[in-house]
Chains A and B, each alone.
Chain A
Amino acid sequence: KAGVTQTPRYLIKTRGQQVTLSCSPISGHRSVSWYQQTPGQGLQFLFEYFSETQRNKGNFPGRFSGRQFSNSRSEMNVSTLELGDSALYLCASAVQGLGGVNEQFFGPGTRLTVL
C-alpha cells in the first residue's frame, strides 16, 4: 500500500507570494492533518480535514487555509508569505475509527523556504 505523498518536496518563494501544497493520503484514509515543523517551535498542528470538512484547527492566522477533496486528497494554502513561514510542512493521514484518534501516518513533508 502506497504511503502518504506530498508535492512538491521543496519550494522556494518570496515574501508576499502565496503557495499551495498538496497531500495524497493512504488509500482508504479519510482524515488528513497538516503540521508545521520549525526548529524553534517544533511540530505544530495546523488543521485536520475529514470528509471534505475542517474538523479541527490549530492556532495559526487566517493566511493558512486548507481544503479536502472528495477523494480525500488535501491541499493547504498560505497567502502573503512571511519569512517566518519557512518550515517543513507535514501531512498525516489516518483511518477514521470509532475510538477517536487513530495512528497517523506522515508524509515526507514539503520544505518551504521564504526569501
Chain B
Amino acid sequence: GESVGLHLPTLSVQEGDNSIINCAYSNSASDYFIWYKQESGKGPQFIIDIRSNMDKRQGQRVTVLLNKTVKHLSLQIAATQPGDSAVYFCAESGSARQLTFGSGTQLTVLP
C-alpha cells in the first residue's frame, strides 16, 4: 500500500549549522508533498510544499527538494536555530486528496 517513510528518526545539529531531513515515499502517483513541523503540545504547522512538476522550492531558511526518480523528498533548514527543534513530518497526496504522513524525525538543535 501507500507509505511515506523517513530515513532517520532523530537528528541532532549544532546551532547555526544546516539541517537536512530526508523522506522516502512509495506512491509514484503522488503529486503534492508537504513538510510539517510539530512542536510539543501543538498541531502540525505547515512549513513548505512542492508539487510534482517542480524539483526544488525555497522558502525562508527552508528548501524542499524533490527527486521523483528515486521517490525522495528532503527538507533543508539553513542556519538552524533552537526554535527549530521539533518533530518534522513529510506528507504526500495524490488524486485522493488525503495526506499520508511519514513517521516523523525529531530534530534537536544543540547549543
Contact = CB atoms under 8 A, between A and B. Distances in A.
A28 interface: no
B46 A104 contact: yes
A9 to B, nearest CB: 10
A55 B97 CA distance: 9
Given A48-B97, A101-B97, A90 B44 contact: yes
**On chain A, which size bracket covers the interface?**
20 to 34
A105 interface: yes
Interface string A50-79: 000001101000000000000000000000
Nearest to B96: A56
Main secondary structure of the interface of A (DSSP, over half): strand
A56 B98 contact: yes
Given A56-B96, A100-B31, A106 B101 contact: no
A103 B102 contact: no
B89 A43 contact: yes
Q: Is the interface of B mostly helix, strand, loop or mixed?
A: loop
Contacts of B45: 106
Interface string A1-43: 0001000000000000000000000000000010100000011
Contact of A45 (B42, B43, B44, B99): B99
Given A33-B99, A45-B98, A101-B99, A107 B43 contact: yes
B102 A104 contact: no
Given A4-B43, A104-B99, A109-B42, 14 more contacts: A35-B101, A42-B89, A42-B102, A43-B44, A43-B101, A55-B97, A56-B96, A56-B98, A100-B95, A100-B97, A101-B32, A101-B99, A106-B36, A108-B41
Interface of B: 31-32, 34, 36, 41-46, 49, 89, 91, 93, 95-104
Closest 9 CB pairs of A and B: A106-B43, A43-B101, A101-B93, A56-B98, A45-B98, A106-B44, A101-B32, A42-B103, A101-B97
